[in-house]
Structure 1
């Protein structure tokens, strides 16, 4: 199974090809004058998707967590992501149990000292 980042890269490739086609057709129909026309929006979207695509491709060989887009599009394999999330959940549960135990002990000591 692919990582979410690989899926986004495939989507961005398709979007970039579509935007390039739309801009090309618009330029051909307008005779090269595209700054005054409605071609500027698809051209901007294509440029932004190309930049994001280059950023995602550049971070492909690095380890997870070292690239700025890892918070948005995870590059972890599904199995690794599931095991990491389960470990984080277990750690949070243990911290919760520890804080509940400390709270219960504090209440017990307060009640014991208030009786004295």
Structure 2
């Protein structure tokens, strides 16, 4: 399976090409792409193009070392799943320790308040 970054790149590429074609047709018909109604489509097209370039530029770097990794993961699904399962196991063990400490603290407070 593809990484989420690859899927997002494909989605943004389709979106970018579609908006670019619409803007090109409008411009060829004699319209101005600098009008107030075309500010949003032009800015969305530029933003999606910048995101495509940013995601593509981080392709060969290790995961976690690129600016878009906190937004869209570049890990394959198998790697991401194993990493998340390990993090969940660690969190459950840490949570178990903190729950045990809270229970012990409540028990000691109850015991000392009786004395």
Instruction: Report if TM-score (shorter chain) is over 0.5.
Output: yes
1:45 and 2:44 aligned: yes
The two structures have a TM-score, normalised by structure 1, of: 0.84
Pairs within 5 Å for 1:1-116? 1-30=1-30, 33-36=32-35, 38-114=37-113, 116=115
Distance in structure 1 (CA, Å) of the matches to 2:3 and 2:56: 13
Secondary structure in 1 aligned to 2:63? coil
Bigger Cα Rg:
1
The two structures have a TM-score, normalised by structure 2, of: 0.85
Distance in structure 2 (CA, Å) of the matches to 1:107 and 1:34: 67
Distance in structure 1 (CA, Å) of the matches to 2:106 and 2:38: 69
Distance in structure 2 (CA, Å) of the matches to 1:102 and 1:38: 60
Secondary structure in 1 aligned to 2:29? helix
RMSD: 2.0
Secondary structure in 2 aligned to 1:107? helix
Aligned positions, number: 115
Contact 1:4 1:74 in 2 (8 A): yes
